[in-house]
Amino acid sequence: MSLFVLGDLHLSLGEDKPMDVFAGWNDYVERLERNWRSLVTDSDTVVVAGDISWAMKLEETLTDFKFIDSLPGKKLFMKGNHDYWWTTKRKMDTFLSANGLNSIQILFNNAYRVGDFAVCGTRGWFLENDTPDDEKVVNREAGRLRMSIEEAKKLGGELTVFLHYPPYYRGTECSEIMDVLIEYNVKKCYYGHIHGKKNFRLAYEGVYKGVDFKLISCDKVGFVPVLVR
């Protein structure tokens, strides 16, 4: 039983918003499926770290979700900044159950035990504009992260945090998120959101303030699920 992570699938199988107009995204659905099936088994779990589907409404995600559900393993869905379909956990759980999407679960203010790992996380945020609205969002996300970590602690296992936004990028940190990671002595954090070779060079991978960060957006890792352990 292994734990994998992959971010930013940006699926649009039920929508007309193909990603292959961007460099490096040619045939990405086929590449993603081939790589996933070559690595992941039904006994494994994959954290899907946000920006899952371009659908605007939950019911419009069905084609994309059915594709993901058809792939091996259990999937834990997290929210990204482009997941406009995201709603309450209860509504999403009901939708998944009603459509027989039994391999998908929602990571939202909660946590899961996967082998030796306590899986927790949230979308995160980055305070690029110092406005009251931005401050409200980042503080809320820090609170969600804290809540998820507290739930993870109850499960035991190694705290492993997954975010969509990077807590440290271009030499600047999101202190509200970093403070929570440091407070709980988190050692591993995986994040997505960053795309393109130019931006990859600005993203931080490695140990910062005791936390080992890794960027796992699809195009960064070649559309290959990343093994956590």
**Residue 2 to residue 27: CA distance in whole angstroms:** 27
Query: Does pLDDT of 128 surpass 70?
Result: no
Query: Does pLDDT of 159 surpass 90?
Result: yes
Can you give the residue range of the structural domain that contains 149?
3-227
Work out how many domains the chain is built from and give that number. 1
Given this model, what pLDDT does residue 135 score? 86
pLDDT greater at residue 172 or residue 46: 46
Given this model, what pLDDT does residue 14 score? 82
**Residue 224 to residue 21: CA distance in whole angstroms:** 20
Query: Does pLDDT of 125 surpass 70?
Result: yes
Question: In CATH, what number is assigned to the domain containing residue 173?
Answer: 3.60.21.10
At 92-117, the pLDDT tens digits run 999 999 999 999 999 999 999 999 99
C-alpha distances (whole Å) from 113 to each of 128, 175, 202, 208 are 33, 27, 32, 25
What value does the mean pLDDT take over residues 140-166? Answer: 97
Share of the chain above pLDDT 90, in %: 86
Dihedral of the CA atoms 173, 89, 73, 69 (nearest 10)?
Answer: -120
Given this model, what pLDDT does residue 101 score? 98
Give the closest residue to 25 by CA, choosing from 181, 157, 197, 169.
Answer: 197
Given this model, what pLDDT does residue 19 score? 78
Predicted TM-score of the model (pTM): 0.95
Given this model, what pLDDT does residue 129 score? 59
Indicate the pLDDT class of residue 24, thresholds 50, 70 and 90. Answer: confident
What value does the mean pLDDT take over residues 65-87? Answer: 97
